[in-house]
């Protein structure tokens, strides 16, 4: 699929959202909006993953008011409003820097050669993002409104799409017959299992660092795929 944010192409390919992140707050450091669970106006998201022979694709729509994209460089997006996508132990950041430019950054864990604790920016053509003045104008925004039972017309947010080459994803042990010390390349074959979790940042919303994040699933923990949701690949 083209990395252009066209959700119609995902629908035409038969992809439906598998991820709905309601505001189950984790990593709490300071106050959160009192009406968060009534309005779903900040930190609620809907998303999907898909794959072809060479790449894993991710698409997310996030409600976010106010929008704070304060990172001066891609490696710091995690400290502003953004998406942190975990695939096994690999951590990817999807979002904007302060200048409004979309980025896809690999915060950690393995390099293409399997070296641990590697981080680097991924090609610009592998990411698309758009700020939305009204998420109800987007098909996923309308679907999120149906799921939450809350009118979301006029709510601000953003959408991001990323293409992640399978060679960037290393599968680790503990599931699907993989031994505890296994570090295997993702192949994309039918029946392959990988574990996914997402953190949606509601950071710096009041001018202070580390406000909170919303996690999906709520059990997720950094670099611990045993707390993530397992996905089985299927054509």
Tens of pLDDT, residues 40-55: 777 789 999 999 989 9
Looking at residue 118, what is its pLDDT?
78
Mean pLDDT of 71-75: 93
**Confidence at 67, pLDDT banded by 50, 70, 90:** confident
Mean pLDDT of 89-109: 94
Higher pLDDT, 150 or 209: 150
Q: b/e for 105-140, b at 16 or more Cβ within 10 A?
A: bbbbbbeeeeeeebeeebeeebbbbeebeebbebeb
pLDDT at 23 > cutoff 80: no
Report d(CA 89, CA 22) in Å as an integer: 23
Looking at residue 211, what is its pLDDT?
59
Chain CA centroid to CA 183, Å: 23
Report d(CA 18, CA 197) in Å as an integer: 11
Report d(CA 52, CA 168) in Å as an integer: 14
What are residue 173's DSSP bridge partners?
none
pLDDT at 121 > cutoff 80: yes
Mean pLDDT of 125-145: 96
Mean pLDDT of 88-98: 94
pLDDT at 139 > cutoff 70: yes
Looking at residue 161, what is its pLDDT?
98
Class of domain 7-229: mainly beta
């Amino acid at each position: 699929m083209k990395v252009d944010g066209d959700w119609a192409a995902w629908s035409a390919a038969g992809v439906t959202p598998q991820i709905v992140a309601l505001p189950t707050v984790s990593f709490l450091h300071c106050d959160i909006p009192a009406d968060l669970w009534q309005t779903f106006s900040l930190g609620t998201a809907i998303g999907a993953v898909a794959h072809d022979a060479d790449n894993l694709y991710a698409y997310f729509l996030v409600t976010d008011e106010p929008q704070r994209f304060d990172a001066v460089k891609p490696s710091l997006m995690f400290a502003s409003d953004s998406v942190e996508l975990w695939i096994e132990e690999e951590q990817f950041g999807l979002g904007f820097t302060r200048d409004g430019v979309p980025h896809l950054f690999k915060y950690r864990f393995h390099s293409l050669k399997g070296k641990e604790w590697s981080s680097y920016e991924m090609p610009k053509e592998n990411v698309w993002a758009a700020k939305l003045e009204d998420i109800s104008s987007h098909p996923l925004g309308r679907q999120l409104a149906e799921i939450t039972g809350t009118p979301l017309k006029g709510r601000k947010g953003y959408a991001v799409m990323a293409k992640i080459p399978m060679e960037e994803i290393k599968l680790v042990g503990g599931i699907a017959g993989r031994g505890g010390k296994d570090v295997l390349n993702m192949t994309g074959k039918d029946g392959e299992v990988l574990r996914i979790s997402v953190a949606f940042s509601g950071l710096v919303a009041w001018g202070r660092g580390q406000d909170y994040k919303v996690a999906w699933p709520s059990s997720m923990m950094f670099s611990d795929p045993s707390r993530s949701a397992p996905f089985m690949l299927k054509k």
